Structure 1
């Protein structure tokens, strides 16, 4: 079957047709880097990593852009109050960008542990102030935004399509905040594009409206179109972002004359022991804490056993089941290779499994069904092994498991041994040292020092020598 996705905008499953044939541009809303990443942060990156893998497997060239919010995301997602990152900086007695760097690396270290590949581009909100101001000016010029006392707001009443993504009736909705609406707004539904910086606000930039900072929603409209064009293929995020964040994004972009994203994909929440995670109530678990108890790749496999649009529950029983299932697949793979000969592999017996796997993935990225196909393949292979399967069959079955489980779903079939872990560490450290040297070459010594200090916290000592930087574990 042809590749189809459930599009939140159209509320139906529809065939996927890229803007540019053979190329796919994807924008995924990334983290707000003000605290340690938790289990809820894992699902989207894992799902979109698999989406990227599958598209590339099918021959597409993919550009995946994931933003990092390091300014403008206010407490309670409102237009008023403290910036989440600025508040954390005050609590930890750090500069805001120190907080951003600390949790930026914590997030991507956690993603790497689950074999989530780095996005093609990782733009930060603080590095795109100019683009956000330009988009704000365009909306004011077109009559879709207005300035009040140094702040600029989007005029919801001027945009007839507002509510098209979420399905909410603009006449009856109030912008989704938990705080009282400021009286300076013309309409309670209006949302901030640019906010006036009060006297004690740490993060601020000059603008034609006075010192301030961007609203939360404007960053994604500005950065997605900068790197993917005015019209691109897929925009993704958690279901909780449909309103107000994605609704606002869509309104801003289209009011500025940009077609924006064709397909909107939203993943559902993760529950913990059957209950919705709530950070405010302490009912959540950090990824670092999880990794002490569970293999990060088992967590990845577990997340893929639920369809991305359904709720995924994390429980002791569920994770044990996933661990046992992955173990069975790995044992089958090892058994296939153990008796394989040097004969040329035979792929002919596996056409049905490939077709069924492809049908599942093309059906709105149905990873649970795709995994079920792999279990069927393992069952058939084990029966052939009992009957004394030839080497060509063994190699063929092993190759299919490697291609689909490891290559597409991103779950290696061989458990990582110490030497493999060492090679990964060496490669990761080489990349980090190169990034640190680039910062020093740009005379961005604060960033270079932050990288060094962050590595020191992890037990890695950096020594700068005449021949270059070296590292060692303490």
Structure 2
């Protein structure tokens, strides 16, 4: 099957057929977390969205270099150019080195996002490890006359840039409207225009995170790091830049401006892709609103908004059952429904494993074969149409109805050709496991299951059914478990 992937490009406001710059190679950069707090449902949505895109591109035989950064410096409060660095603030509060905060929350992010079966990126650079590249980019922007130095800080000159470029082309913002609606903020008197943003900030005497630069000790601006790191690992122009919709303005708009104003003279990426937000009862989920839910809360069920704990695969399925560009509203009902949907797909994998096909007995029915091939093909249509996982899941459920009918004998399996049988099996397995990234979660508790087996063992022993006793012992031994007959009762241990 030939698959042509189309993606909605925020930059052009339309769906476009994906054509890499240097096929079969694909360069993809996604904005990762600022590591000053626990990963939450919002982080999970972005991570799962771009994980599916990464998986599907690889399924289409592209050689992908996936770069996803860790922001560990320069992201100030309220996403502005004033206030304290989010990580430094946390470090001061807990009397820690900023890099202790960074490491702790990076580990938590990788642990909890990993539970969602999100693949690790190929490169995971940190902003603090790329100060040299950021300084070089600032020097280029200064050289091109689109930045200025004020009191040891360097600012991007938006009006100077806008004379020959379109600042606002990604977000649809109009510079004149922005100027009319932007009030002069206290402490921003260094800026020539309220739209200008920091490329490098002079460090105050109390600022811990600081590096030497041609303009004095300081630290980089938040927007600059992604421009410098994407260029280092993917080149001056690459294929895909992704992130949450909340990053489109100002973060991604500023990235394009920096890239155009440097020696790149490019939009950085050809396809700009944004996932929508998570809402809670129709309200955007966010720390400022106090309605955000950490992933660890979801896994444990320990949160006032949660009726129960939800497994990682339930959360992954919940994210996948909506198109990435639509809002996704959190509710306990939606998560419980996701649990059922996930279980249904996983049960399908088990049914497929049990289906036995014999070519010798086959008498293919052309109509049935055509119907099943069409259902299989339809499973890819959603993915090819702007990564519509919701549609793909609906198509998989349609295919699953037929798979269950084959299993229950309602449809004759010998009416399929070998080609059709292999196609439905491969389509289902590839999409559920390799592209949607769902995996079977163990549902039972090992201790409870063993207690149950030991009860059967005890009953068999008391009934002197020694053949059953021997079978139970032998089967458990295969699993590395030995039964111990003690005076006080029956117990088990791992085989030494």
| TM-score, with structure 2 as normaliser | 0.80
Distance 1:3 1:388 in 2: 33
Q: 1:194 corresponds to which residue?
A: 200
Of 152, 167, 171, the match for 1:166: 171
Q: Deviations over 1:287-340 (max 9, x none)?
A: 011112111011001101111110011211101111111112222332332343
Between 392-401 and 216-225, report the one with greater CA deviation: 392-401
Give the 3 Å change call, closer, same or farther, for CA 205–192 of structure 1 in structure 2.
Answer: same
Query: What is the 5 A alignment of 1:109-148?
Result: 109-148=111-150
- Which residue does the alignment assign to 1:230? 236
CA drift at 1:23: 1.2
SS in 1 for 2:110: helix
- Residue 324 of structure 2: aligned partner: 308
Q: Deviations over 1:401-435 (max 9, x none)?
A: 2111111100025647789xxxxxxxxxxxxxxxx
State the partner residue of 2:472. Answer: none
Cα offset, 1:275, TM superposition:
2.5
- Answer yes or no: is 1:249 the counterpart of 2:251: no
Q: CA separation in 2, counterparts of 1:220 and 1:171?
A: 27
User: Where in structure 1 are there 5+ consecutive unaligned residues?
Assistant: 420-474
Please say if 1:352 is aligned against 2:358.
no
- Identify the residue that residue 324 of structure 1 maps to in structure 2: 340
Aligned to 2:314: 298
Give the conservation status (yes or no) of the 8 Å contact 1:77–1:177. Answer: no
Report if aligned partners of 2:140, 2:263 keep a CA contact under 8 Å in 1.
Answer: no
1:4-34 CA-partner distances (Å, limit 9, x unpaired): 1111111111111111011110000000000
Question: TM-score, structure 1 length as denominator?
Answer: 0.84
1:413–1:352 Cα change, 3 Å: farther
Distance 1:280 1:237 in 2: 20
Measure how far apart 1:80 and its partner are: 0.9
Offset of residue 158 of structure 1: 1.1
Indicate conservation of the 8 Å contact 1:337/1:395, yes or no.
Answer: no
For residues 359 and 397 of structure 1, do their structure 2 counterparts lie closer, same or farther at Cα, with a shift above 3 Å needed?
closer
Cα distance between partner residues in 1 of 2:333 and 2:412: 35
| Paired residues of 2:171 and 2:249 also in contact (CA < 8 A) | yes
User: Is 2:368 the partner of 1:368?
Assistant: no
1:59 corresponds to: 61
Aligned to 2:295: 287
- 2:430 is matched with which residue: 403, 416, 432? 403
Aligned residue pair count: 419
Aligned residue for 1:390? 413
1:153 aligns with 2:155: yes
Q: Is the 8 A contact 1:75 1:81 kept in 2?
A: yes
The structure number with the bigger radius of gyration is 2
Query: Secondary structure of the equivalent of 2:177?
Result: coil
Cα separation, 2, equivalents of 1:15 and 1:306? 22
* 2:275 counterpart (229, 243, 267): 267
8 A contact 1:34–1:99 mirrored in 2: yes
What's the CA shift string for 1:169-210, capped at 9, x where partnerless? Answer: 112215989953511111111000000000100100011100
Partners of 1:333 and 1:413 within 8 A in 2: no
CA contact (8 A) 1:78 1:179 kept: no
User: Higher mean Cα deviation, 340-349 or 23-32?
Assistant: 340-349
Alpha-carbon distance between aligned partners in 2 of 1:379 and 1:238, rounded to the nearest angstrom: 35
1:463-474 matched pairs, under 5 angstroms: none
Answer whether contact 1:110 1:288 (CA < 8 A) is retained: yes
Cα deviations across residues 71-98 of structure 1 (Å, max 9, x unaligned)? 0000001111100000000112110000
Rate the CA distance shift 1:416–1:134 in 2: closer, same or farther, 3 A.
Answer: farther
Pairwise CA distance, 1:99: 0.2
Greater shift, 344-353 or 134-143, is seen at: 344-353
Query: Structure 1 residues 177, 326: closer, same or farther in 2, change over 3 A?
Result: farther
SS at match of 2:148: strand
Residue 211 of structure 2 corresponds to 205
Partner of 1:95: 97
Specify the SS of the correspondent of 1:159: helix
Indicate if the aligned counterparts of 2:313 and 2:441 stay in contact, CA closer than 8 A.
no
In 2, the alpha carbon distance for the partners of 1:151 and 1:243 equals 22
Query: Are the equivalent residues in 2 in contact too, given 1:163–1:247 (CA < 8 A)?
Result: yes
For 1:221, the equivalent position in structure 2 comes to 227
Equivalent residue, structure 2, for 1:377: 399
SS at match of 1:71: coil
Report the Cα distance in structure 1 between the residues aligned to 2:74 and 2:189, rounded to whole angstroms.
Answer: 20
**In the aligned structure 1, how far is the partner of 2:148 from the partner of 2:385?**
43
